[in-house]
Amino acid sequence: MYDIISKRKIFYIISGITISLSLAALILWGLKFGIDFTGGSLWEFRFTDNSPEKIKVEELLKPQIQGELLVQKSEEGIFSIRTKEINETDHQKLVASFKDFSQDFEELRFETIGPTVGKTLQSKSLQAIVMVVLGISLYITYAFRHASRPVASWKYGLATIFTLFHDVVIPLGVFAWLGNFKHVEIDVNFVTAMLVIMGFSVHDTIVVFDRIREKIRTSNTKNFVELVNLGLNETLVRSFNTSLTAILALAAVYFWGSYTLKYFILAMLIGIGVGTYSSIAIASPMIVEFWLGQNKKSQKPGIK
């Protein structure tokens, strides 16, 4: 049996450093919002044979698009054009001009979002995240209402909220870095990925908490730390196997799937990996910390 709880301080240090770096990235660079939230048009295309230089594409676009124009070219040769809102008529004219330029032209994506719709989506996304966190914490508190000894049920909810923060802020930090150095934008798909990550993380945490609750109810030993450690070990293989299955499937889509889903899948991969780690190394050790705090206040002996 692995003594996970005794190594909890190492896990805290790892998570503390990772969260600090993520928060620093968010503060320094912030997130690069896509047209879903800011409004405008996003056009992605490539040339299947001879890909022109970025400057050549800019020369073709500037006479046809007035105002803000951002042209990017990925390592895979995919051009990403972000500009003001373009109507469908102008869009078709652009497509025709590029087809005249090269028969190898292939359009991958074209989206247009108005600024009002973008602000509405931004507000709705924030509301969705807040409601999910609130709903999950209330559910955990209710579900573990009978596990009030030796730790109050609401503390399970508190540990879950911190775990959710841990699992969301790290992918956000990664995408802040990607936005600054790789010009990766976040969109509604990214918000969807964050909600899925939160659900996956909570699911894994609940399984561990439920096993700990079962051990408290059925075991003869009164050593709470041993019960938590035993519950963790009994769910360890299950957690790894479940996560590995999901990660392998997502990795296949990431490497061989559609380019438009690439960063949505990347967010999922990061979140599921971090969520599996936190359900084992952060959530349950936090319950032990609450128990140790109670013992300290009542001047009962605990563990170091």
Residue 146 pLDDT greater than 70, yes or no: no
pLDDT of residue 118: 67
- Average pLDDT, stretch 65-74? 84
- Average pLDDT, stretch 197-202? 87
Residue boundaries of the structural domains of the chain: 5-34+117-297, 40-113
CATH superfamily of 5-34+117-297: Multidrug efflux transporter AcrB transmembrane domain (1.20.1640.10)
Residue type, 237: V
Classify residue 39 as left (phi > 0), alpha (psi -120 to 50) or beta: left
Q: Considering the chain, what is the average pLDDT of its residues?
A: 86
Tokens of 131: 């409601």
- DSSP-based three-state secondary structure for 70: strand
Tokens of 283: 């959530």
pLDDT of residue 122: 75
Residue 73 pLDDT greater than 80, yes or no: yes
pLDDT of residue 139: 80
Residues of the chain above pLDDT 90, percent: 38
Tell me whether domains 5-34+117-297 and 40-113 share a fold.
Answer: no
Q: H or E stretch including 186? A: none
Q: What is the pTM of this model?
A: 0.82
pLDDT of residue 45: 93
Axis crossing angle, helix 153-182 with helix 262-278, rounded to the nearest 10: 140
* Nearest residue to 54 via CA among 40, 75, 83: 75
Return the higher-pLDDT residue of 45 and 127: 45
CATH number of this structure's domain 40-113: 3.30.70.3400
Between 75-84, 85-94, 123-132, 243-252, the lowest mean confidence (pLDDT) is in 123-132
- Average pLDDT, stretch 180-197? 89
